């Protein structure tokens, strides 16, 4: 049996079943494996391209007509998303058509206004202004801030151009704001920045522990994989708020903000006290366990103390330890609740420790797994040439510099011998007048950087600020001396590396507006005008650069010398690193460390830990609330430069800034839903709309990060190891305001 | 200069060459698509749609598993893209309910589209039968080329489903992807939900009706409009404790509605016209002035109503809905009233002036009153609290009463006319004042919603509305010279127009629970 309905009746004079308006919505078989598609948007070809928003790395099937994208749907055959996409992915084409696209270079004129100029004028101005600063104060007085949003090939070009070509010393990316903590944690524990999992582990776990992660909203397509788990898993969510993910979990531990390190040390101690350990794994594959054990037993990480500090029941902490030590397949996943913390590196390592103690690494459904934020944050970690030398190498290693110089065919003395400053240090450098020229690419510092008012002041210290972006309207572009118009996702070629280390191809399917150029082309031009074009004579196309990048990874943990071309990537549904040359057969979904060998010289993982530190800005009488920040909805992305350009996405999130407050607190302060309220921290004061909800705990308020105002409140405090800003907690005061 | 950036074309600068390259799109290679598309992916959805047609007495319906809906909203975007909707058009929405469950915070995202009701409000209200409940599937279909764009279905649907398109001048809505189902494909929302929270099921209409009509039963989803009115077929299922008192995420968000200016003009002027006709018949012995005024009012009012329609040229079919649509009835009744009135007015200028039987005047007045009654019923039939029968009746007939009293008093000086005018103004004032008190309700009721819109969003209009009415009434009653009296009548009319603006603006339009709004 099958459904058998239709066709609809014929027209009669009194009843118009058909006509021009009806036909606007008529569907027809889409071919290309698409199912039905709207007839008015029927494609004559399709192609696949990895999405340019988050690090899930979904493949989108782009519907083309006369070579140009007219629609898209989710790719059914890609191992990551299996025919699904979140609303941002579905709406990926809308932001390309926005009216505020930068279509020509803009130079600030003597009247202080940004004025359209030719590329020729723009590039000459950039080169002469940066050149003058360099002549006066050296390469260390120039710097760049980049992004996790552009392909690896472009990142590598930017980093190489800046350091090897122009001679800059310091550059960093907005990945500092999201992933630095995971990077440092993995390097310390595993010996290399190596998230060990594949998404198949979501489906193969018996116990999934999510820490500081609202996966349902931040990575809906990863949550799809959790929902495909047929093992009836226990899902534990550890988050102060009763988020969508907490609702969907089997257990929610609503701990007090930033009490996580004590919690996980207490859990580790319970594992030891109850001997819920994998001794074989510990002996064979780790170091320093005895020291770690002593640390846990000699300090006060008792169940009682943990319960007191976290506000959780002793039983629920004990049960968590019991679950993690159950011998079942346990995977631990974390996102920004851990990374964006003043002691995030140690928290991430405390989670890695739990996985190591229980042998939950390198097995199906296991792992201590950092979920990445941006579409190519992982590419940035390997190829941005800012913190690491290209390919996960070290600037401080003579051997590495020689290797890279050899492959790139450049003089080795062009490679700096010291590490870059981190984002915060670069801005401090600007503040102190040490950095005078700054090039910001595809990120919106003026919105996203912590303690925004401080950034606003230090902009004035810069001699020359170049901003390269799709839109001339971003808060940062509006502050620039020179705006370079960039092509966006869908208007250029390259590869992204997703959260599970999968390299996937992104494609040009649309023409960029006006004179906007792919970042790749812009870097080619800057190299040419700077006079260092010869250094990049092999860098003729993204695919050529990709081949260079694969060469650079040889013998590294991220070795991808086995990927000869873009075509191979497409044929394989993306390829996870590593794939050393000579690998012919490989699984579509692979995890690391299946052999129990890690990347430290002794091939053993390390237990890394230290005493919990006090919060940089605890609440007090004057500022009695903890301000939590995070993703508002799945239809919003970061500073909203793109997601605000889609009518559909705009319908799916609140237009203006709002703050979630618990009804108990609200009642005490006389605040009703949608009332204007003032949120004041030591750094600034904003007015937002109140949303009363019991999902935010008493004593805390939550503000989505997508609204620019919010970062006027946040505190410049950083994890000492990763230099990642601590967006998640600062002290604020809440008052009812008279008006918006 | 470096060689790689040099163009093979003479004189072309590197900039020109890269701009040219930027604009070149590669011919995509479709072979990879073909390679992967073995058709197996569609098998995923086979369990999410019924295997066969509904049996007699059954129909298709959406079923939403709340435990699987986590607020990703892909269904909204997937529906939009796969159905080729306009940039700003969405047929699905995702809302939020929140509250406390077993002492813990509770929140649940809720995906919602057309409920393909057993007794669809849109269909019942449509004056031209542009809706059809498909006899096989029970899907409520909309005939886009039949629609006249009157938007009465938008008012009738308690779930805010039909969406008006300015470009097309018609409404459009979800058809459960009828054409996809007809080829065995899952609807777009079902296909695009990463967690398989939406499925199509078959429901028994009789048992659903029995369950739904009991108003003492809780709503089919907390914070959703009750099912007893249109018998929606969507079911929301959950294994968790869903708190029955959960509130919509946008419960307290004020949503002033579209004022519909042509309707404001149409309603106010036709009701005034009927009143003035009554005055002419009752007191002035068929005075020319009143008939002319009445005809003018009716003519302008009815002309304005045409401006409301997105597709006026299709409106000749309005009689089709007579058996079920109060809008059809209104159009037909006023369609009879206007010629009668114009004839009576015309006769005043002929020698037949005195030969028209009085009964004909009374008949015209009666038809006019019937027309006002149908207008009342149009709004009462939407089940919106602010438009309840007694409220709309008092407002609409009040306008008629005021016009009749004012007209009669000015022309005849009859004291009973003055009393009717005063009674009309005072009765309407009491109704408004009582409504404002609802702002003090503890619960956020529709009445409170309407009161707050008036008092916080439109306070100027509220003040102007009553200043105009009181000053206008005073001028008509106490300054017995024609210019002042006529001026007073104009102010009175202005007051009624302002009242009707608030009537549309302040109604609490019910809908499914929405998300956070700021």
pLDDT at B460 exceeding the cut of 80: yes
Q: How far apart are CA B328 and CA B334, in angstroms?
A: 10
pLDDT tens-digit profile of B211-261?
999 999 999 999 999 999 999 999 999 999 999 999 999 999 999 999 999
pLDDT at A339 exceeding the cut of 70: yes
Asked if B180 lies within 8 A of A507 by C-beta distance, the reply is no
**Torsion angle of alpha carbons B226, B230, B235, B239, nearest 10°?**
20
The minimum CA-CA distance between B380 and chain A, rounded to whole Å, is 28
Q: How far apart are CA B120 and CA B231, in angstroms?
A: 7
Asked if B34 lies within 8 A of A673 by C-beta distance, the reply is no
A44 touching chain B per CB within 8 A: no
CB of A705 closer than 8 Å to CB of A627:
no
pLDDT at B45 exceeding the cut of 90: no
Q: Please compute the mean of the pLDDT values over residues A650-661 and round it to a whole number.
A: 97
pLDDT of residue B46: 82
Confidence of residue B41 (pLDDT cuts 50, 70, 90): very low
pLDDT of residue A457: 87
pLDDT of residue B351: 84
Backbone phi and psi for residue B21, each to the nearest 5 degrees, phi listed first: -65, -40
Q: Which residues of B touch A537 (CB under 8 A)?
A: 2-4
Confidence of residue B35 (pLDDT cuts 50, 70, 90): very low
pLDDT at A247 exceeding the cut of 50: yes
Q: How far apart are CA B390 and CA B19, in angstroms?
A: 69
Backbone phi and psi for residue A453, each to the nearest 5 degrees, phi listed first: -65, -30
pTM as predicted: 0.95
What are the strands of the beta sheet with A482-485, ordered from one edge? A114-116, A106-108, A482-485, A464-469, A437-441, A142-146, A170-173
pLDDT of residue A1: 58
Residue B205: which H helix or E strand, with range? helix B205-213
**For residue B18, what are the contacts with CB-CB under 8 A and spacing of at least 6?**
A517, A521, A524, A525, B5
**Torsion angle of alpha carbons A305, A306, A309, A312, nearest 10°?**
-120
pLDDT at B503 exceeding the cut of 90: yes
Q: Please compute the mean of the pLDDT values over residues B510-516 and round it to a whole number.
A: 97
pLDDT of residue B283: 85
Whole-number average pLDDT of chain A: 96
Q: Please compute the mean of the pLDDT values over residues B379-404 and round it to a whole number.
A: 98
pLDDT tens-digit profile of A690-701?
999 999 999 999
Identify the burial level of B315 via C-beta atoms within 10 angstroms of its C-beta, where 0-12 means exposed, 13-18 middle and 19 or more buried.
middle
pLDDT of residue B285: 66
Whole-number average pLDDT of chain B: 93
Confidence of residue B4 (pLDDT cuts 50, 70, 90): low
pLDDT tens-digit profile of A252-281?
999 999 999 999 999 999 999 999 999 999
Of residues A468 and B35, which shows the higher confidence score?
A468
B322 touching chain A per CB within 8 A: no
> What crossing angle do the helices spanning A180-190 and A344-357 adopt, rounded to 10°?
40
pLDDT at B1 exceeding the cut of 80: no
This model of the complex carries an ipTM of 0.96
Length of chain A equals 740
pLDDT tens-digit profile of A305-329?
999 999 999 999 999 999 999 999 9
The minimum CA-CA distance between A190 and chain B, rounded to whole Å, is 33
Smallest Cβ–Cβ distance between A32 and the set B33, B67, B104 belongs to B33
pLDDT of residue A3: 85
Task: Count Cβ atoms below 10 Å from residue B290 Cβ, excluding itself.
Answer: 28
Bond before A7 cis per omega within 30 degrees: yes
Q: Which residues of A89-117 are buried (b: 16+ CB within 10 A; e: fewer)?
A: bbbbbbbbebeebbebbbbbeeeeebebb
Confidence of residue B356 (pLDDT cuts 50, 70, 90): confident
Proportion of chain B above pLDDT 70, given as a percent: 94
pLDDT at B40 exceeding the cut of 70: no
Q: Which residues of A touch B18 (CB under 8 A)?
A: 517, 521, 524-525
Asked if A695 lies within 8 A of B137 by C-beta distance, the reply is no
Q: How far apart are CA A146 and CA A423, in angstroms?
A: 10
Tokens for A657, please give them.
């800034």
The minimum CA-CA distance between A16 and chain B, rounded to whole Å, is 5
User: Which residue of A16, A30, A58, A245 to mutate against B (max B Cβ within 10 Å)?
Assistant: A16
Q: Please compute the mean of the pLDDT values over residues A211-237 and round it to a whole number.
A: 97
pLDDT tens-digit profile of A571-602?
999 999 999 999 989 999 999 999 999 999 99
pLDDT tens-digit profile of A665-690?
999 999 999 999 999 999 999 999 99
Q: Which residues of B touch A631 (CB under 8 A)?
A: none
pLDDT at B30 exceeding the cut of 50: no
Q: Please compute the mean of the pLDDT values over residues B166-185 and round it to a whole number.
A: 96
B138 touching chain A per CB within 8 A: no
Asked if A14 lies within 8 A of B23 by C-beta distance, the reply is no
């Amino acid at each position: 049996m099958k459904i058998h309905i239709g066709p609809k009746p014929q027209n009669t004079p009194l009843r118009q079943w058909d006509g021009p308006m009806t036909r606007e919505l008529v569907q027809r078989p889409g071919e290309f494996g698409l199912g039905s598609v709207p007839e008015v948007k029927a494609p004559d070809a399709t192609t696949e391209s990895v999405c340019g928003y988050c690090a899930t790395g979904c493949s989108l099937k782009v519907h083309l007509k006369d070579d140009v994208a007219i629609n898209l749907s989710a790719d059914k055959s890609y191992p990551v998303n299996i025919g699904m996409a979140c609303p941002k992915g579905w709406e990926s084409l809308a932001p390309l058509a926005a009216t505020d696209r930068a279509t020509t270079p803009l130079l600030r004129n003597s009247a202080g206004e940004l004025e359209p100029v030719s590329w020729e004028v723009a590039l000459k101005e950039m080169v002469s202004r940066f050149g003058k600063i360099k002549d006066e104060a050296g390469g260390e007085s120039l710097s760049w801030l980049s992004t996790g949003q552009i392909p690896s090939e472009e990142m590598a070009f930017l980093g190489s151009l800046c350091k090897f070509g122009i001679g800059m010393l310091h550059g960093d990316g907005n990945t500092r704001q999201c992933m630095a903590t995971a990077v440092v944690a993995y390097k310390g524990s595993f010996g290399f920045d190596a998230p060990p999992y594949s998404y198949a582990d979501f489906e193969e776990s018996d116990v999934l522990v999510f820490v500081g992660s609202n996966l349902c909203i931040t990575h809906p397509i990863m949550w799809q994989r959790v929902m495909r788990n047929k093992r009836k898993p226990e899902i534990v969510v550890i988050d102060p708020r009763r988020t969508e993910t907490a609702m969907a979990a089997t257990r929610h531990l609503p701990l007090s903000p930033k009490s996580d390190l004590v919690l996980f040390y207490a859990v580790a101690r319970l594992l030891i006290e109850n001997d819920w350990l994998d001794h074989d794994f510990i002996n064979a594959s780790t170091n320093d366990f005895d020291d770690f054990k002593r640390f846990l037993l000699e300090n006060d990480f008792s169940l009682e103390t943990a319960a007191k500090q976290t506000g959780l029941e002793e039983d629920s902490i004990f049960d968590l330890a019991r679950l993690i030590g159950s011998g079942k397949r346990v995977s631990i996943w974390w996102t920004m609740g851990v990374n964006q913390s003043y002691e995030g590196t140690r928290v991430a390592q405390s989670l890695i420790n739990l996985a190591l103690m229980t042998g939950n690494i390198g097995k199906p459904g296991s792992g201590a797994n950092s979920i990445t934020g941006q579409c190519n944050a992982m590419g940035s970690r390997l190829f941005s040439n800012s913190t690491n030398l290209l390919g996960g190498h070290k600037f401080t290693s003579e051997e590495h510099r020689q290797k890279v110089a050899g492959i790139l065919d450049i003089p080795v003395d062009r490679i700096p011998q010291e590490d870059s400053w981190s984002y915060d240090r670069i801005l401090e450098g600007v503040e102190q007048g040490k950095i005078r020229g700054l090039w910001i690419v595809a990120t919106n510092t003026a919105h996203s950087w912590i303690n925004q008012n401080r950034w606003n002041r230090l902009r004035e210290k810069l001699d020359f600020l170049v901003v390269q972006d799709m839109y001339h309207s971003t808060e940062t572009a509006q502050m620039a001396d020179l705006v370079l118009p960039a092509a966006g996702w869908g208007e250029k070629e390259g590869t992204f590396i997703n959260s599970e280390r999968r390299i996937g191809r992104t494609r040009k399917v649309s023409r960029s507006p006006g004179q906007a150029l792919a970042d790749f082309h812009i870097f080619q031009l800057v190299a040419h005008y700077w006079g260092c074009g010869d250094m990049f004579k092999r860098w003729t196309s993204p695919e050529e650069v990709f081949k260079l990048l694969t060469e650079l990874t040889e013998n590294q943990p991220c070795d991808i010398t086995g990927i000869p071309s873009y075509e191979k990537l497409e044929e394989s549904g993306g390829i996870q690193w590593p794939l050393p040359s000579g690998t012919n057969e490989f699984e579509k979904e692979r995890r690391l460390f299946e052999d129990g060998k890690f990347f430290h010289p002794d091939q053993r993982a390390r237990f890394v830990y230290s005493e919990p530190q006090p919060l940089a800005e605890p609440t007090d009488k004057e500022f009695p609330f903890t301000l939590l920040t995070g993703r508002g909805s799945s239809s919003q992305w970061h500073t909203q430069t793109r997601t605000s350009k889609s009518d559909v996405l705009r319908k799916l999130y609140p237009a203006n800034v709002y703050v979630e407050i618990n009804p108990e607190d609200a009642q005490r302060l006389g605040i009703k839903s949608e009332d204007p309220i003032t949120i004041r921290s030591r750094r600034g004061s904003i007015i937002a709309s109140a949303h009363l909800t019991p999902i935010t705990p008493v004593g805390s308020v939550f503000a989505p990060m997508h609204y620019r105002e919010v970062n006027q409140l946040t505190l410049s405090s950083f994890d000492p190891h990763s230099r990642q800003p601590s967006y998640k907690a600062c002290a604020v005061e809440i008052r009812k305001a008279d008006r918006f | 200069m470096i060689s790689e950036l040099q163009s093979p074309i003479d004189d072309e600068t590197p900039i020109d060459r890269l701009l040219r390259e930027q604009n070149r799109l590669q011919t995509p290679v479709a072979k990879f698509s073909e390679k992967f598309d073995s058709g197996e992916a569609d098998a995923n959805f086979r369990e999410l749609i019924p295997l066969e047609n509904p049996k007699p007495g059954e129909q298709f319906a959406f079923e939403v598993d709340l435990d699987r809906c986590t607020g990703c909203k892909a269904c909204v975007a997937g529906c939009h893209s796969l159905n080729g909707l306009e940039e700003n058009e969405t047929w699905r929405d995702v809302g939020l309910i929140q509250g406390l469950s077993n002492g813990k915070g509770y929140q649940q995202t809720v995906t919602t589209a057309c409920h393909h009701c057993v007794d669809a409000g849109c269909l019942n209200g449509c004056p031209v039968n542009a809706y059809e409940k498909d006899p096989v599937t029970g899907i409520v279909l909309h005939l886009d080329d039949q629609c006249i764009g009157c938007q009465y279905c938008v008012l009738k649907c308690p779930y805010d489903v039909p969406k008006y398109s300015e470009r097309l001048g018609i409404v459009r809505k979800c058809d459960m992807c009828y054409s996809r189902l007809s080829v065995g494909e899952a609807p777009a929302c079902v296909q695009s939900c990463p967690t398989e929270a939406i499925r199509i099921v078959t429901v028994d209409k009789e048992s659903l009706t029995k369950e739904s009509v009991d108003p003492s039963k809780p709503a089919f989803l907390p914070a959703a409009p009750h099912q007893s009115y249109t018998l929606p077929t969507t079911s929301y299922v959950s294994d968790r404790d869903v708190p029955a008192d959960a509130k919509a995420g946008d419960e307290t968000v004020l949503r002033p509605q579209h004022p519909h200016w042509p309707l404001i003009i149409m309603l106010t002027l036709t009701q005034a016209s009927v009143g003035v006709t009554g005055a002419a018949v009752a007191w002035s012995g068929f005075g020319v002035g009143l008939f002319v005024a009445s005809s003018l009012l009716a003519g302008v009012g009815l002309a304005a109503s045409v401006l409301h329609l997105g597709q006026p040229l299709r409106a000749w079919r309005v009689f089709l809905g007579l058996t079920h649509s109060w809008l059809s009835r209104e159009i037909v009744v006023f369609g009879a009233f206007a010629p009668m009135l114009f004839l009576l007015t015309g006769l005043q200028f002929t020698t037949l002036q005195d030969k028209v039987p009085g009964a004909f005047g009374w008949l015209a007045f009666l038809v006019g009153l019937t027309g006002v009654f149908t207008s009342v019923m149009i709004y009462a039939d939407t089940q919106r609290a602010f438009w309840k029968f007694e409220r709309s009746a008092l407002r609409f007939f009040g306008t008629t009463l005021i016009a009749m009293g004012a007209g009669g008093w000015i022309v005849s000086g009859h004291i009973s006319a003055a009393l009717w005018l005063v009674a009309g103004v005072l009765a309407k004032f009491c109704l408004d004042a009582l409504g404002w008190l609802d702002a003090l309700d503890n619960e956020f009721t529709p009445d409170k919603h309407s009161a707050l819109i008036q008092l916080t969003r439109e306070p100027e209009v509220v003040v102007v509305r009553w200043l105009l009415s009181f000053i206008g009434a005073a001028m008509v009653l106490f300054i017995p010279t024609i210019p002042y009296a006529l001026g007073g009548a104009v102010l009175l009319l202005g007051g009624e127009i302002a009242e009707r603006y608030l009537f549309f603006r302040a109604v609490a339009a019910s809908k499914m629970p929405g998300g956070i709004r700021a």
